[in-house]
Structure 1
Amino acid sequence: MTQLPARALPTLYVFLDEGGNFDFSPSGTKYFTLSGVSLFRPFKLHTTLDTYKYDLIEHRIKPRIEMEYFHCADDNRHVRNRVFSMLAASIPPDSVDSVIVEKCKTGPALQVPEKFYPRMLGYLLRFAVGKVAGGVGEVIVVTDSIPVAKKRRAVEKAVKTVLASMLSHGVPYRVMHHASRSHYGLQVADYLNWAVFRKWELGDDSAHSIVAAQFRSEFDIFRSGVRRYY
């Protein structure tokens, strides 16, 4: 049996999710949100969510035809409320950072997804990693599977550029792309980013108010900007 090496410092996992679209026109979403959930093992919520998922399956209370995984936009109101209550009880306070972008204030040169996304991700990671108390043995950034190669490369470049400049010498970091259905960390990020997107896009803070204590920062990136490009 292979013996795993001991780590003196814990590994920080940052699970990412985004809300809104890349349509920089009046027909697109008003806001784009990018959120990171920073967690250390053990992931205590995973067992609770797994139990609840199989309760839904066995009692045929399904938010979708097949309850394979949690997805906030597709889950029904009953399931969403229950999951948000679980998040409020189990996710440590100040674990979530969000970058909020009012898209009409984004300059034309930045309205290309391959430029826009890495720039916003860089801001987010500075909040997420820069506010960690104490040292970490490694930083692992986990995103949902990214099928577009150009976007995938842009994300990896942004993560490596930011973390290389922020982390102490010798602290390793990695970027991993997992299907959201394979990891509860990504499903948690989906729920929390859905809450912050609804708050800013629709003025609906009903879900966000349940998990407000879990948010460490919500940074409106162009809050002082006055110029609108459309």
Structure 2
Amino acid sequence: MRAELGKRRYLFSDESGDLQCRTSTNVSKYFAVGTLLIEEDELARLRSEMAALRDELAWSNQGLDSCFHATEDSYVVRDRVFNLLQDFDFRVDVTLLQKNKAQPQVRRDEPTFFKYAWYFHLKYLAPQIFQEDDEVLIVAAELGTKKVRKAFRGAIEDVMSQCLHFRVKRTLAFWRDESDFALMAVDYCLWAVFRKWERGDETNYKKIEDKVRTEYDLWGVGTTAYF
């Protein structure tokens, strides 16, 4: 039996926007890191109820190709998922980086920019949510090729060593989006927050607003645009 010295926490994460730092109609204004913190019992309930919803939607001819994904799901499916998420106890935190305000050394390549985003996200968040002797499983959505995942894994591991107390036992995993309903939940929540910032659309954001503990515009007070 595991000694109850600290809590076992689950932090599911996702990113929104692209990592391209240039001006184009197909390039996002922001890049965002979002996390969903949830406890074991609530995670088990979330997984169970989202699985039941997927079955129910399939039986009503609202079948999914693989998993819930906010950008691709129909309005009917998306509405049902947001309504379900309203009933759960978890916290969402989002850090947004307005890319044209990033200094050149921050955006010299995509892994570097990605690492900065994660660093500032965890630097602020970790002291608020983790205590000594906690155990945390950080689950990130799988990204790109094996080479890309290796670079991003190294970036997150380095950030964790800098931002988490040395007595917080942490494990990092990269899982495919369709492998866990909690990754689908953070995808939905981050999508709603990102649309609010990128497009000014708060329609779905309002449904999960009470879950969103922080929305941090990292360079919000900056006035210098580099491109």
Q: What are the equivalent positions in structure 2 for 1:68-147 lying under 5 Å apart? A: 68-92=66-90, 95-111=91-107, 112-132=109-129, 135=132, 137-147=134-144
1:182–1:61 CA distance, 2 compared to 1 (3 A): same
Deviation at 1:126, TM superposition (A): 2.4
**Do 1:11 and 1:136's aligned partners in 2 also have CA atoms closer than 8 Å?**
no
Change (3 A) 1:49 1:23: same
Q: Is the 8 A contact 1:69 1:181 kept in 2?
A: yes
Unaligned runs of at least 5 residues, structure 1: none
The structure 1 segments of at least 4 consecutive aligned residues displaced by more than 6 Å after TM superposition are none
1:165 CA displacement: 3.6
Distance 1:117 1:166 in 2: 15
What letter matches 1:209 in structure 2? K
Work out whether residues 71 and 187 of structure 1, in 8 Å CA contact, stay in contact via their aligned partners in 2.
yes
CA distance in 2, matches of 1:88, 1:127: 25
Task: Give the residue type in structure 2 aligned to 1:90.
Answer: F
Matched-pair contact (CA < 8 Å) for 1:20–1:33: yes
The alignment's TM-score, normalised by the length of structure 2, stands at 0.90
Which position in structure 2 is the counterpart of 1:202? 199
Q: CA deviation at 1:222?
A: 0.5
Given candidates 170, 178, 185, the residue that maps to 2:167 is 170
2:216 is matched with 219
Does 1:31 pair with 2:27? no
Q: What is the identity, as a one-letter code, of the residue corresponding to 1:54?
A: D
Q: Which moved more, 1:7-16 or 1:76-85?
A: 7-16
User: For 1:134-191, what per-residue CA distance to the aligned partner results, in whole angstroms no more than 9, with x for missing partners?
Assistant: 5553121111123334543343333333333444443311110111101011101100
Measure the CA separation in 1 of the matches of 2:209 and 2:2.
37
- The more displaced of 53-62 and 201-210 is 53-62
List gaps (5 residues or longer) in structure 2: none
Q: Which residue of 2 aligns with 1:46?
A: 47
Local SS of the residue matching 1:177 = strand
Give the secondary structure class of the aligned counterpart of 1:73. coil
Check whether the contact 1:33–1:196 (CA below 8 A) recurs between aligned residues.
Answer: no
Asked if the contact 1:12–1:136 (Cα under 8 Å) also holds between the matched residues in 2, the reply is no
Kept after mapping to 2: 8 A contact 1:137/1:171:
yes
Q: Shift of the alpha carbon at 1:6?
A: 4.3
Q: Secondary structure at the match of 1:75?
A: coil
> Does the 8 Å contact 2:20/2:110 carry over to 1?
no
Residues paired across the two proteins, number = 222
Contact 1:20–1:29 (CA under 8 A) maintained in structure 2: yes
